[in-house]
Amino acid sequence: MSNDREVILSVKHVDVSFDNGGKKRFRAVKDATFDIYRGETFALVGESGSGKTTLGRAILRINELSNGEIDFKGKRISGKISKEEDTNVIRSIQMIFQDPAASLNERATIEYCVSEGLYNFHLYKDEADRIAKVDKALEDVGLLPEHKSRYPHEFSGGQRQRVGIARAMIMEPEFIVADEPISALDVSIRAQVLNLMNKLKEEKGLTYLFIAHDLSVVRFIADRIAVIHLGRIVEIADSEELFAHPLHPYTVSLLSAVPMPDPQIEKNRKLVVYDNSKRDLSGPKPVLQEITPGHFVFANDREMAEYREKLKKMDEEKKNLTNQ
């Protein structure tokens, strides 16, 4: 990864913990550190309960941090900030939710759903301006101006998700947190929404934090991937690199669970089940460290040596394959 790229969002040693009814506080996110560059799609992958949504919400200032700091365009946006800055963050960082049926007000017209952000922040000169903005936002996501007067239930799942995207886009954000944006959609519709997200990214120079559990989707859409397990980021790499050279055993197990649409190959695949208790966890405390440029893995020195060995073996396999 070249170093001259602009860091748009920087997450530094972030902890998010929750009160656990008098017992020890529950640490949902543990010491998360990563940078997101302008214009990329950065995916955060993990199973439910891994803390991926909590971290996404922390960036949007919905969850408070108990430690660490989040910077947006070089300025701290976590903790106490001025009202003006808060408004600014809300405008520039928008969210796309998982279930478009649940995130749209079913009693409101599409026009209202999409304008809500404009109303809240008085981001329009007059009625004509507001309507022009709504029309533009709908057009951007492939809907028509006449859809304005309809209600969410009149749309299909894919169209509803487009409305969800339109209401984020109307705020003219620079950064979008997309929390499982296609998980609730039908297979045939997923592709449309993924294409749309890619198109908007190109046209508007957006940056995405794409939160997902499905690695097959992430491979297609993400430039870089961070794997999170039990609140801990265990591996970060370019998406091609992560798929070709997964190092952390949890990443390996996640990859082994991605179903491939090929009966002969799929029926012979070996499932790798990740079990923390069966791992050799001896040695000093692991930290997230860089093993090859841009590829980070959560490991201690002993594990790093093992991973280097593993990388070497993978390189040989690759040579063998290309020689064939």
The per-residue DSSP string of 110-153 comes to HHHHHHHHHHHHT--SSHHHHHHHHHHHHHHTT--GGGGGS-GG
Residue 26 or 119 having the CB closest to another protein:
26
Q: Are 160 and 193 within 8 A, CB to CB?
A: no
Report 44-73 residues binding another protein (CB under 8 A). Answer: 47-48
Look-up of token digits 């995207």: 165
Using a 10 angstrom Cβ sphere, with 0-12 exposed, 13-18 middle and 19 or more buried, the burial of residue 59 is buried
Check binding of 6 to another protein (CB under 8 A).
no
Interface residue with another protein among 21, 22, 74, 259 (CB under 8 A) is 259
Write out the H or E segment, with its range, that includes residue 273: none
Q: Does 271 bind another protein (CB under 8 A)?
A: yes
Q: Which is nearer to another protein, 25 or 199 (CB)?
A: 199
Three-state DSSP state, 229 = strand
φ, ψ for residue 18, nearest 5 deg: -120, 150
* Of the residues 62, 102, 260, 281, which one makes contact with another protein according to CB under 8 A: 260
Q: Nearer to another protein by C-beta: 68 or 246?
A: 246
What binding mask, one character per residue, do residues 232-251 give for another protein by CB under 8 A, x or -?
-------xx--xxxx-----
Kindly tell me which of 60 and 237 has the beta carbon lying closer to another protein.
237
12 versus 219: smaller Cβ distance to another protein:
219
Site string for another protein, 154-193 (x = CB under 8 A): --xx----------------------------xxxxxxx-
> Which lies closer to another protein via its Cβ, residue 134 or residue 189?
189
**Cβ atoms of residues 136 and 185 within 8 Å:** no
Bridge partners (DSSP) of residue 228 are 233
CB-hemisphere CA count at 13 Å for 228? Answer: 29
Distance from CA of residue 100 to its chain's centroid? 17
Q: How far is the CB of 226 from another protein (least distance, A)?
A: 16
User: H-helix or E-strand containing 161?
Assistant: helix 157-169
User: Which residue ranges make up the site for another protein (CB under 8 A)?
Assistant: 47-48, 156-157, 186-192, 194-195, 198, 213-217, 219-221, 239-240, 243-246, 252-267, 269-274, 314, 316-322
